[in-house]
Amino acid sequence: LRTLLRQLWTHLARRRRLQLGVLLLVMLASSVGEVLSLAAVLPFLAVLANPTGLWSQRLVQQWAPRLGIGGRADSKSVTGILASAVSMS
């Protein structure tokens, strides 16, 4: 397999080799971006699965009163709004 790839590489023009290298870099960057986008969705899924667990977070306990979110009923509506916003983007 290595010899076949080496022979193929020698038959490629310099411009095509450069294009292949750039393509490989773009594919690598795309895969990293895909992993990061999946990792960004996981916290929203966790809140949707267990909305009451959201109130055990210290940061939420500090910021909820400042934002006017009073209880678990409000958190469900905020969670729904956030989930809708994420799905639209």
pLDDT digits (tens, 9 = 90+) for 65-82: 787 777 665 666 666 777
Residue 26, token pair as written in the block: 């773009």
- For residue 84, what pLDDT is reported? 72
Q: Phi and psi at residue 47, in whole multiples of 5°?
A: -70, -40
Helix-then-strand count for the chain, H and E: 4, 0
Q: Phi and psi at residue 57, in whole multiples of 5°?
A: -80, 130
Is residue 30 very low, low, confident or very high in pLDDT (cuts 50, 70, 90)?
very high
Q: Average pLDDT, whole number, for the chain?
A: 82
Q: Determine contact, residues 46/56, Cβ cutoff 8 Å.
A: no
- For residue 52, what pLDDT is reported? 75
- For residue 62, what pLDDT is reported? 82
| Gap between the Cα atoms of 44 and 34, Å rounded | 17
Residue 62, token pair as written in the block: 């500090």
Q: pTM score, two decimals?
A: 0.55
